[in-house]
Amino acid sequence: MMKTFRHSLFLLVMIAAFSCKEEKKEPAPASQTAQLDTLPMLPQEMPGNIYAQVDISPMDMSYFPVDYPKIKMANSAVAPPLARVVYSRPHLQRRRLFSGILKYDEPWRLGANESTEIDFYKNVTVAGKKIKAGRYILYCIPHKDSWTIILNDNIDTWGLKQDPAKDVERFKVPATSNNPLLEYFTMV
């Protein structure tokens, strides 16, 4: 057994020694011109986008189940997702949310830019209320102790142009406190 151990140790040392050996490269003849394999460095200051202004609140998308597109790519036979939320992600920029940005008891679009939308790919039940499959805008009314979450049919709108006559359903959820601070609004 000791002999086998010594042979194994010797073999391991030899493999390590030969795999770490540097290859000596011969310099190219002076007559050959060097070819660049990368593009030259771009200037530090890039001009703005001439086609569209860059948005400071980028659009994002959340699925249930989480990472559904990756799951689908790994298994094409997977069932469709239950829901998808499309929203823009505003950020606080060191401001306080309820000290100047939002006000309690007033509607908020749950994001920035276009109205936040939720797609239900099949009929669902939320808080005991049946919701038909379809696309809705999603907004809320924050209160100190609870939030009212609202589904509305007025899709493809900018900002919060909800027509209360098109509200499909409302859900009251409890508000929590002492949550971790987040710079970017996130729905998961």
For residue 5, pLDDT beyond 70 = no
Per-domain residue ranges of the chain: 59-174
Which segment, 33-42, 48-57, 172-181, is predicted with the most confidence on average?
172-181
Exposure b/e, 113-146, CB count within 10 A at least 16 = b? bbbbbbbbbeeeeeeeeebeeeebbbbbbbeeee
Residue % of the chain over a pLDDT of 90:
34
Summarize pLDDT for 149-171 with one digit per residue, the tens. 999 999 999 888 778 899 999 99
Say if residue 38's pLDDT is above 90.
no
* pLDDT tens figures, 112-153: 888 999 999 999 999 999 999 999 999 999 999 999 999 999
pLDDT at 76 (0 to 100): 83
Residue 1 binned pLDDT confidence (cut-offs 50, 70, 90)? very low
Average model confidence (pLDDT) for the chain?
77
Provide the pLDDT for residue 102.
Answer: 82
Q: Are 63 and 87 in contact (CB under 8 A)?
A: no
Q: Which two tokens stand for residue 165?
A: 């006559």
Find out whether 187 and 173 touch, Cβ atoms under 8 Å. no
The per-residue pLDDT for 45 is: 64
User: What are residue 140's DSSP bridge partners?
Assistant: 108, 149
Say how far apart CA 117 and CA 147 lie, in whole Å: 18
Q: Is 174 helix (H, G, I), strand (E, B) or coil?
A: strand
Q: What is the pLDDT of residue 62?
A: 87
